Homo-oligomer: A and B are copies of this chain.
Amino acid sequence: MFREILLTFRHGGCGSYTAPVHTPTRLATAALVAVCAGAALTAAPSAAVLNVRAWRETRERQIVGELMRLVALPNIASNRADIARNADLLTTMFEARNFNVMRVETPGSPVLIARRDIANARGTLLFYFHYDGQPSDPKAWTRGGPFAPVVMSGPNLFPLETTSTTLNPELRVYGRSTSDDKGPIVALLAAVDGLAATKASPAWNLRIVLDGEEEAGSPNFGAAMKQHAADVRADIAVVVDSPRHPSGLPTVFYGSRGTSGAVITVYGAVTDLHSGNYGNFTTDPTMALAKLLASMKDDNGNVRIKNFTDGVVPLTPAEHRAIGELPNVDAKLLEQFGLMQAEHPDSRIELQHNHPTLSITGIESGAVSAGARSAIPGSASARVEMRLVKGLDAQTQFDRLVAHIREQGFHVTDTEPDRQTRRAHRRIARVTRTGGGFPVAKASLEDPRTAPVVSAIRSLDQRLAQMPTIGGSLPFATFSETLALPTIGLAIVNFDNNQHGPDENLRLGNLWDGIDIFAALLTMSR
């Protein structure tokens, strides 16, 4: 209990995202840290980390400023020119820290490999980040814009340029990729700077890999890594992405989910038809699509597609144990998201991360408001996304989806149906596969080769959320399987960062924690 109170003084929370903000005096801080270190047994930050932290407290505005300059560059992977500008700036940023930067061109975005060797290295440490972001409609943002970053104090704009104090850790910086995944890059660079400024050095050779199309499924990343396997050889690969466990605890993870999915288009007449003249006569493709989608889940959120979970590998005892040790955050999430109950109220979210999903991420036909017409649309489309867990692969899951659509009486095609096809079938669905860029990955929680990472993080805060898998998808398997490196995932950013949505943000306390963690990892024992 006493320790909990103490912990809430560090960065406003040591994990408890609802903790009140305190501003202890310098004296109080010193006293509390001392007690905290004693109480937490192994939670004893090294001198190097404490020095970096003290340096950071003098440089907070500059660190946030560097993040905002990076966020201000639009970074949707489909825009090659924008992506090139990001790669250029990142190259400059790493070269300024004495990294040697290779730019690996691919058919998509370039992959950057920033390398820095040191004398008497304890080994080689690889960090993966991505620098692209999800598309976003600027009109949906209420705080800044995706590429017009702002710092906010709650609902109020915080004038970063006019303040000279250290920054409240509850401040947030808003903008696309502040959390996913540019913020963590800036945290790493700040740790490198902090070590240099305090006359320390990383203890490991560093390989930083920057992926430019993670949000597009990293279609070219695996090939680039294979081709440059020698350049990224490492003793440990740390995949840095994804939010922390919603408890706010420092978080590592051991796997990520795979992706599959489809765009489904259901057809009515060859043109939109006047709803008065042809209602009750033509096929209503939106209704047919609604019925098809409705057939995919029951009222309790259980997927009704045959064999949907066939082959899923059960959790190991260690994985079950790790989930059991996590604080239960379901009630807090429901409150945060304004929901009455979870889709599977008898389970918990971390268990659900180990089940496959089926979600509808988009649907469209005709118009609902602006541009609404009294016409029955000629077609209706939906985007269905499936996340995969250990034992499932993208093609198999897609095939199961297609089989289900056929079972609902649809003629399935992968091209626009011609007139003859339309005349031959009452129900027609065009189904094209999406996703599939990321296979499922799962490393062992008990691998001793990644244990130093866990120990280093525990040196900052004995408590640690160990998640067998994250809910999201990223190229974890490129490291754990393709390159066969001992791989672990690291999550730094606040869980409520609105990742992939409007108003994406990074809580500054998480940025500061991230700098601590990188300082600890760069200087950890083998």
Give chain A's interface residues, CB within 8 Å of chain B. 134-137, 215, 242-243, 257, 259, 263, 268-284, 286-287, 289-291, 293-294, 296-297, 299, 301, 330, 333-335, 337-344, 349, 352-353, 355, 357-377, 380-383, 385, 387, 419, 422-426, 434, 470-473, 495, 498-503
Query: Is B360 touching A382 in the complex (CB atoms < 8 A)?
Result: no
Report yes or no: B357 in contact with A374, Cβ–Cβ below 8 A.
Answer: no
Cβ contact within 8 Å between B426 and A500: no
Q: Are A280 and B257 in contact (CB under 8 A)?
A: no
Known: A134-B375, A277-B470, A278-B333. 4 other contacts (CB 8 A): A135-B373, A281-B342, A287-B293, A363-B366
Q: List 24 A-B contacts (CB under 8 A).
A: A263-B368, A270-B338, A272-B500, A272-B501, A274-B472, A274-B501, A275-B361, A277-B470, A278-B337, A279-B352, A281-B344, A282-B339, A284-B297, A284-B360, A338-B419, A362-B372, A362-B377, A364-B364, A364-B367, A367-B383, A368-B382, A369-B383, A375-B500, A375-B501
Residues of B within 8 A of A278 (CB): 333, 337, 349, 471
Q: Which of B360, B365, B419 contacts A286 (CB 8 A)?
A: B360
Residues of B with C-beta under 8 A to A301: 280, 284
The reply to whether B337 and A282 contact each other, CB–CB distance below 8 Å, is yes
Shortest 10 CB-CB contacts between residues of A and residues of B: A276-B472, A279-B357, A362-B366, A269-B337, A272-B501, A286-B360, A280-B352, A338-B422, A294-B294, A277-B471
Which of B135, B363, B426 has a CB less than 8 Å from the CB of A364? B363
Q: Decide: A503 near B243, CB < 8 A? Known: A279-B359, A281-B352, A360-B365.
A: no
Partner of A281, one of B299, B343, B372, B498: B343
> Which residues on B sit within 8 Å (CB–CB) of A276?
257, 357, 387, 470-473
- From B263, B271, B472, give the contact of A503 (CB < 8 A): B271
Chain B residues, CB < 8 A from A434: 372
Q: Which residues on the B side are within 8 Å of A333 (C-beta)? A: 278, 281
| CB-CB under 8 A for A374 and B338, given A263-B369, A277-B243, A355-B280 | no
Q: Chain B CB within 10 Å — which of A134, A363, A387, A434 has the most?
A: A363
A387 to B335 CA separation, bound complex (whole angstroms): 41
Is the CB–CB distance between B291 and A294 below 8 Å? yes
A362 and B360 contact, Cβ closer than 8 Å, known pairs A373-B500, A501-B271 = no
User: In whole angstroms, what is the CA distance A355 to B357 when docked?
Assistant: 41
Min CB–CB distance A93 → chain B (angstroms): 27
